[in-house]
Amino acid sequence: MLILISTLIVIIYTIICIVKVYNHKNKLVNMTGMTVVMVLGMASSLVMGLIAGIAFKGDITLSTILVISFSLVVGALVGRFINLLALAEGIAGGVMGGMMGAMLGEMMPSDNFKLMLVFTDVLFITCFLFIIHMINSELKRVEDSVSRYSRTFPWIVTSVISVVIILTFSQLEAKPLLSNVNVQENQHHHHQ
């Protein structure tokens, strides 16, 4: 369940960033736009790579191909709104993050990946907040009328809720594991 929640959070927040960049593409033509594309490509593909590495454990080729395909789509979608250099940055950062995530997911023990997944989820959400803040800061700098653009605070609240959901599901998945270990230990003691 934690893997599903993590996947949904990455996909939803990535789509939100793509839409936000698209809506303000004319105002993000400088370094801000390029940085947004690179951070989004790398952060989203790192988590998706970790998820693919965990889900397809033992088949690093498939997990790497899937996550590189994901990173190409994200980098191309968001980067094309800014300029060619931003597109290249998004794709390159995404490929690099995806390959690292897939390798990390492959190396994680099957029963002990939750902490790393929670850590990369929180890292991704932090990057998402950074992206939203960068875009909002650039919009404030470019526009005189700031009231049209949403502030960063609602996104902080949404992100905190997402982190709480991730932590809750990681705890819920950890508890049955511990109770199964206790049951097995009790059964082992009864048989002796």
C-alpha distances in angstroms, 132 versus 35, 40, 136, 150, 153?
A: 12, 11, 6, 10, 10
Q: pLDDT digit string (tens) for 123-158?
A: 999 999 899 888 888 888 877 555 544 566 677 777
The residue type of 101 is G
Q: Which two tokens stand for residue 153?
A: 């605070």
C-beta of residue 136 within 8 angstroms of C-beta of residue 143: no
Decide: 73 and 41 in contact? Cβ < 8 Å: no
Cα–Cα–Cα angle for 142, 37, 6, rounded to 5 degrees: 120
Question: Which residue range(s) make up the domain with 127?
Answer: 2-191
Q: Does 183 have pLDDT greater than 90?
A: no
- Residue 171 reports pLDDT greater than 80: no
* φ and ψ of 147, to 5 deg: -65, -20
Is 117 strand, coil or helix? Answer: helix
**Interval 94-103: pLDDT, tens:** 999 999 999 9
Q: Give the chain's domain count.
A: 1
